[in-house]
Structure 1
């Protein structure tokens, strides 16, 4: 027997899944005795349907056995992975359409040449295994001769149980082709390659990579551990990259750094770049420099260019104000997105660019980078959750609370449990949302969950956003001691990196906020002084320093409306619009002059609206559109019911007392107050009460 490769039409036919067709060779099923309840059992315990299937199987077996040998051999070739173009008995007889027509007439083959599945199963059970394997190998021989061993045919043969290294190599090569762009498909190909005889040790690192890409950190970690325990195991560089990415996702970037150090400095440039990112993130600046200096060369692929830019950008973020890092990291993100590759990295380039942008006060830029990365699926499923949460963080900073909540909900609704690192970010984001909406009960619950999460990670450079938020929230709740260790770890890490301004300044600001909330303004002196010094080189630091001084003056009872207005607007220019609105609102509540109070309330409301509505214009607070002739604020529309509730609140009544007066439940009173707070765009209760005094014309209300 000789075979020849299939033509393109037959290959397409074989890639089409078999559809249910009438039973072959005239098989008929007896009708059920009870269509509504299923098939009734018979005396021997088998249903009528089971007996019918048994009779049909026996009938089909007899029918196939009785086929003319030439036709039966043709059916066998189809069953083991061939098609009509591969069938040529004894080499003397030319292929003709007659044999296919006979098979179709017998009800064994569909019109497009596909063998009926029940026929396939039956003939494979009636033919000896060695005969099946022999025909499969002849098919492989025929394909190899013409150089047309296609991956889809290889998969069919491998699934049929054929063990042949030629098939295994084809499957392995196809898996390698798909590894970076379709890791889920690559995983299937590697498993089939191993079944066809490929060396499982040679494929271990690649199998770990596809497990990581699927979010299965436990499987990826186990494969890497076993692989690295074998000194002679191949592809160790890939295993190191995967292992480092797994440790990073688990919130232990220091372990990623140690893994690279253990491997040594002799590695490809791409891996060395990833190692540098991990080492800097863990506080080892010198180790990162040494790794990059001794790295080998890599082919100039898009991925290797992205990796190089990532390392350069992270290093740049440690120098001066760090602003020069952002364009480099944005280019890294662009290149990684363009590659379409799902690469094991300690942190995705889009996340790095967004973090640097947020730290530097360029919140809108961070949002743009994240939108692009998410739209084009940078990093695949492995990176999506973290990018979603960072986009939610941007939404929170821009006062788009609904969008921030949606990001948390979408991340939490994913296929699997969040990684330790992403869980911390998610829960810290929930804390930030609750703090900014002044929802005390929600804040308390979110804080407890976030505190639990932070205990599961070792703080690194890329965790400073959640650390800063939890420092402020813990002070608000009087539990600063519960994050003192993590805050100390953050400062120790930053000191090892040379106290880079880009990363230090936001943490100083968080500490200033925490001191104010804790009622300990004297304790903020070191952080305030650090902001003053940093302000000479960093615009965000200069804005924060000015705002810090204004806040201290307000706390001391000295309200300079112009200074507060400038400070609040300055904060908004570096991505801290909510903080600016809060400063203005607190100052308004303490202003003795009605006109100054009105100006500050207008400032607070404008900054909140700028966040709620990005198209809002920057109308100055002194504009007539914002103030009436007497300096009072343009009044928002409150319903009659809301005005009644507000008046009772200003009289000092609590929710229970208001409910008894108005014959409604305290819960309903709370809902009215929440709507009022939203209408006024107030960031705190004191700011809301101050605004209500103006809106209702009641200067004698009680705070």
Structure 2
């Protein structure tokens, strides 16, 4: 037995060198080349075979079998010698440094020949290569059998792990897979992993080829990418390029994209009413009902569309399939519910879709943001912020432009309802940036409506005027369907009230009244708009205002209802009417203002719990609320409207604050308030960006 293979720990031995220089494969490789030669050639061939993927027990390369013969003793002897030398692990694998050394010193052609022989062994036995296929591809082996197995592995991962699928498709290309044949699937994997730019580049390569393979999938991916970029019109263009004759099972998706741009006839050309189902699978049924539901939302009974889309969402949840979609059925069902004044239903649908992973990772942020919007509508700001935060962190990539726009508008809505002007201004700046990266479509009307109201409050209407005009044109092309149109009319009514513009208000109030015969929500909003006008004119009936406010609460708008009642209370001439309206406001909006709990007894100085005890600043929590509003330049009436107290109570608070701080005049009071609250002493008492008639 050659002493070079004995496990002797002496300077210069192979085992000692491998242990002393594990990070230097070239040095170890030289030792392997020097010491495994001659009589040790069979051992070396055995170790090399095991290094490229052959296993014991099992078939070995033909050349090695020829050397050792067919006697089991000869092979056992080789294994014993390798183990004795410390080069073979008990499980039959070659120790890492020795493996790397052998592969480094062996000619590439010989390694690839052994690898092809290994692939043949697996193929003859009908066994998959498994992870070995990935190692072979990364090692530079080009073999159609390896490429095919990698494609199949990537296809299996595509629906549930797009990042893994992307990696395996790239390895399949290294093994010789056809780049064009795999393009659509590679693009789907890239898009599912949030790599929109990479997906778009792959699709561009596919769609410019003379006869693109898997073209329907490719267009589905392109449409999904365009939709996520906030450019749904380009998604519609992609389907129009494909044409109804090639759209096949993607017809409902084409209808969703094209309808979202305001083209009903174009959508029906791809997905005519009564279109047959492609197959009786869960996925096909989900897509079919998605198309049916979105078209139903424009009909005479739009509420039926919600039920159909919820069924579609449930089916896609059950299918557990992640597809490239311009919009998921869960998101569409939730949007219809929000447009119908049912935010609780929208929240429930989104929660179920998120729990099921509907649409894969790429769809989760949008579902969470719509869920957050529903929470905001129900006056649950903490839940809204929690869902929005989860949406921003759920994936490893930033929010796509469409979701960033929705998130920014949500921030504006929360800030507007919170009443904190600095917060609103910060949110508005973010929204201004986000709106430049998206465009108007049917499924983004709610955030555009919120931005219209905020713009009116901040006297920035010019920033959104063009987008709002586009929204009205889109709705006009669809025949002004009530379900989609009513919330935007309501937003326009609120904007007109803030702008004190009866001329701008009239057409939207008329539209709401006209839609009342077909829409319960429109009837409530029309009554609320009428109540607002009467309150601002100082000629209102408290009972009618209270009724309108409570109806708003009943359709998922408690904050709006409380705001209406609070404004009316501040203008009520009779104390009993004022108390009644303030109680209504507190019922609808228990938080009672920006910082927390309202006063228990309006018209008095009574406060609850610790809110009445001064802290180090010398002010109680309620007095801090009032102080912040004073620094914003609000009047007694506006302070009362903001935190649901009477103007007289606000006056009492300010008088007490003045006494506590020892302020001698108004300018002195403002300076001391800034000091007590820790605000910038140079800040103006009344932000110049705000409309005099603040919310």
Sort the Cα spacing of 1:252 and 1:137 in 2 relative to 1 into closer, same or farther, 3 A: same
What's the CA shift for 1:507?
0.5
Compared CA separation, residues 106 and 495, structure 1 to 2 (3 A):
same
Conserved? CA contact 1:317–1:325, under 8 Å:
yes
**Structure 1 pair 599/132, CA: closer, same or farther in 2 (3 Å)?**
same
The one of 567, 574, 578 aligned to 2:555:
574
Alignment of 1:531-610 (within 5 A): 531-609=512-590
Aligned equivalent of 1:331: 311
- Alignment match of 2:372 (pick from 392, 395, 416): 392
Structure 1 residue corresponding to 2:284, chosen from 277, 284, 304:
304
- Distance in 1 (alpha carbons) for counterparts of 2:487 and 2:513: 13
Partners of 2:660 and 2:237 lie apart in 1 by 61
Q: Contact 1:168–1:197 at 8 Å: present in 2 too?
A: yes
Q: Aligned in 2, Cα 1:671/1:436: closer, same or farther, shift over 3 Å?
A: farther
CA contact (8 A) 1:627 1:633 kept: no
CA change 1:670–1:437 in 2 (3 A) is: farther
Q: How does 1:202-213 map to 2 (within 5 A)?
A: 202-213=181-192
- Counterpart for residue 139 of structure 2: 160
> Is the contact made by 1:321 and 1:538 (CA closer than 8 Å) also made in structure 2?
no
**Residue aligning to 1:3:** none
Measured against aligned partners, the alpha-carbon deviations of 1:579-607 in whole angstroms (never above 9, x if no partner) come to 00100110111111111111111111111
Cα distance, 1:115 vs structure 2: 2.1
Q: Which residue of 2 aligns with 1:666?
A: 673
**Matching residue within 12, 16, 33 for 1:26:** 16
**Aligned pair 1:361/2:341, yes or no?**
yes
Aligned pair in 2 of structure 1 residues 82, 668: CA closer, same or farther (>3 Å)? farther
* Greater alpha carbon shift after TM alignment, 322-331 vs 101-110: 101-110
Q: What is the CA–CA distance in structure 2 between the aligned matches of 1:418 and 1:357, rounded to whole Å?
A: 24
State whether structure 2 residue 612 is matched by structure 1 residue 639: yes
- CA displacement at 1:574 relative to structure 2: 1.1
Asked whether 1:93 is paired with 2:71, we answer yes
2:355 is aligned with 1:375: yes
Quick check: 2:498–2:694 contact (8 Å CA) kept in 1? no
TM-score, structure 2 normalization: 0.83
What is the distance in 1 between the residues matched to 2:26 and 2:132? 32
In the TM superposition, what whole-angstrom CA distance separates every residue of 1:86-130 from its partner, at most 9, and x where no partner exists? 344137334865544443332222222232221111111222222
1:8-157 → structure 2 map (5 Å cutoff) = 25-27=15-17, 56-65=28-37, 68-88=40-60, 89-90=65-66, 92-94=70-72, 99-157=78-136
Contact 2:255 2:268 in 1 (8 A): yes
1:652 Cα deviation after fit: 5.3
- Checking the alignment, whether the CA contact within 8 Å between 2:277 and 2:285 is kept in structure 1 is no
Instruction: Say what the alpha-carbon RMSD is for the aligned residues.
Output: 3.2
Contact 2:185–2:217 under 8 Å retained in 1? yes
Separation (CA, whole Å) in 2 of partners of 1:150 and 1:158: 11
Asked if 1:248 is matched to 2:227, the reply is: yes
Native 8 Å contact 1:595 1:631 kept in 2: no
1:677-696 paired onto structure 2 within 5 Å: none
Residues 644 and 176 (structure 1 numbering): CA distance in 2 closer, same or farther, change over 3 Å? closer
- Residue 27 of structure 1 aligns to a residue whose secondary structure is helix
Q: Is the 8 A contact 1:434 1:446 kept in 2?
A: yes
Could you tell me which residue of structure 1 aligns to residue 153 of structure 2?
Answer: 174
> What is aligned with 1:199?
178
Name 2:205's counterpart in structure 1: 226
- Asked if the contact 1:269–1:304 (Cα under 8 Å) also holds between the matched residues in 2, the reply is no
Shift of 1:409: 3.5
CA offset at residue 635 of structure 1? 6.1
For residue 215 of structure 2, the aligned residue among 204, 220, 236 is 236
Q: Deviations over 1:2-40 (max 9, x none)?
A: xxxxxxxxxxxxxxxxxxxxx97233767xxxxxxxxxx
- The structural deviation recorded for 1:395 is 1.8
* Inter-partner Cα distance in structure 1 for 2:24 and 2:199: 47
Counterpart for residue 504 of structure 1 = 485
Q: Which moved more, 1:660-669 or 1:586-595?
A: 660-669
Contact 1:398–1:611 (CA<8 Å) still a contact in 2? no
Cα distance change on mapping 1:664 and 1:98 into 2, 3 Å: farther
Cα drift, residue 656 of structure 1: 9.2
Give the drift of 1:658: 7.2
- Alignment of 1:421 with 2:405, yes or no, is no
Q: Give, in angstroms, the shift of residue 505 of structure 1.
A: 0.5
CA positional deviation for 1:352: 0.9
Aligned residue among 246, 260, 264 for 1:281: 260
**Given the superposition, is the C-alpha separation of residues 267 and 297 from structure 1 closer, same or farther in structure 2, using an over 3 Å criterion?**
farther
Instruction: Name stretches of at least 5 consecutive residues in structure 1 with no aligned partner.
Output: 1-22, 31-48, 617-625, 673-683, 689-703
Q: Which whole-Å CA distance do the structure 2 matches of 1:270 and 1:128 have between them?
A: 51
Find 1:406's aligned residue among 380, 386, 411. 386
Q: Work out whether residues 168 and 193 of structure 1, in 8 Å CA contact, stay in contact via their aligned partners in 2.
A: yes
Q: Is the 8 A contact 2:28 2:101 kept in 1?
A: no
Distance 1:202 1:660, change over 3 A: farther
Matched-pair contact (CA < 8 Å) for 1:269–1:296:
no
Summarize deviations over 1:514-533 as a string: whole Å, max 9, x none: 11111223421111111111
- Does 1:519 pair with 2:500? yes
User: Structure 2 unaligned runs (5+)?
Assistant: 1-12, 615-619, 627-648, 664-668, 680-690
Q: How many residues align?
A: 624
Q: In 2 relative to 1, CA 79–296 (structure 1 residues): closer, same or farther, beyond 3 Å?
A: farther
Which of 446, 467, 472 does residue 448 from structure 2 map onto? 467
Tell me how far 1:455 sits from its aligned partner.
2.5
Counterparts in 2 of 1:462 and 1:648: CA distance versus 1, 3 Å = closer
Which residue of structure 1 lines up, in the alignment, with residue 641 of structure 2?
Answer: none
Q: Tell me, in whole angstroms, the C-alpha distance in 2 between the residues paired with 1:546 and 1:633.
A: 34
1:233 aligned counterpart, secondary structure: coil
Q: Return closer, same or farther for 1:52/1:514 CA change in 2, 3 Å cut-off.
A: closer
